[in-house]
Amino acid sequence: MNEDTGSDYLQPWQLSEVADGGGIGVVEESKHHNLAKGDFVTSFTWPWQTEAILDGDLLQKLVPQLVDGHLSYFLGAAGITGLTALLGIREKGHVAAGANQTMVVSGAAGACGSLAGQIGRLEGCSRVVGIAGTDEKCSILVQEMGFDAAINYKKGDVAKQLRELCPGGVDVYFDNVGGDISDTVISQMNQNSHIILCGQISQYNKDVPYPPPLPPDTEKIQKERNITRERFLVLNYMDKQEASVLQLCQWIQEGKLKKLLGLFCLALTYFIISLEAAFQSMMNGGNIGKQIVLVSK
């Protein structure tokens, strides 16, 4: 939405041009050798329109059977969101089964955070604590997503609650938000622990480089405790995409990985309204899990 996204892989929306985003569609006609009528395909830059002519080389063919026909999962748990959570933990989290590690996830009720906590557990973390913005979200994280505990950062003393819920300190931090919340978590991280730098949503409208620099006191803690904090971009690990998607789909089919979808399903006449409402809901924290818009004719 900003004139400068601050990213070399994501371009800003242009005035008078069709907006785009991650999407799924069905092929109605094809001249591409690998795609046929009726195939389901996805793209990271899907145009927000009901019909479009697209370059087949830029589309990924989907196998609906992997998700028992639930195509929307390819936009969340079995898509780029799930890949970000899984590969972030595997590549930057250094989680080891039996190591008695504690993971904290900020933005834990969001699309990526809700998956990251579950995957952290599946990969070997012995304790997972989430941070979210409402009591409802915290309840869902614990009762449905398998988190051991969750903190509503809008209530009470986050640092105090974190000390009580993570008495042995924090070994892995899946950071989606940055800012004060992250400073608080980092202050309670252990020696040789790891930050998975997934997102910094509290910092995106500030004129700072990415990843945003830490405040001096927090940076001092990071250096003294040898805490890793490296930029993570899932697109750099696409050689591991196929195997990772199969792993995510297996967990979904086995019931080990649960999906949270905030679904806006409105007829074509209300398409623009549904897009606006979905975007505002996501930015206001109204969604739990992945926010999805279904366009139907």
55: pLDDT strictly greater than 90: yes
Tokens 């028992």 appear where? 68
Give me the mean pLDDT over the 242-248 stretch.
95
Q: Tell me, what's the pLDDT at 235?
A: 85
- Report the domain count for the chain: 2
Q: Tell me, what's the pLDDT at 133?
A: 92
Do 196 and 269 lie in a common domain?
no
Instruction: Output the pTM of the full model.
Output: 0.85
Q: Give the helix/strand (H/E) hosting 244.
A: helix 241-253
Is 267 among the domain residues? yes
As to burial, measured by CB atoms within 10 angstroms (0-12 exposed, 13-18 middle, 19+ buried), residue 13 is: middle
For residue 201, give the nearest of 222, 225, 180, 171 by alpha carbon.
180
Is 53 among the domain residues? yes
Strands in 18-169 per DSSP E: 20-26, 40-47, 60-61, 102-106, 127-132, 149-152
Q: Tell me, what's the pLDDT at 271?
A: 44
Strand, helix or coil at 83? helix
Q: Tell me, what's the pLDDT at 123?
A: 96
Do 74 and 101 lie in a common domain?
no
Q: In the chain, what percentage of residues exceed pLDDT 70?
A: 81
Do 27 and 103 lie in a common domain?
no
For residue 285, give the nearest of 153, 110, 81 by alpha carbon.
110
At residue 274 the predicted structure's pLDDT band, cuts being 50, 70 and 90, is: low
Is 200 among the domain residues? yes
Is 170 among the domain residues? yes
CATH number of the domain that residue 279 is part of: 3.90.180.10
By residue range, what is the domain housing residue 179? 97-235
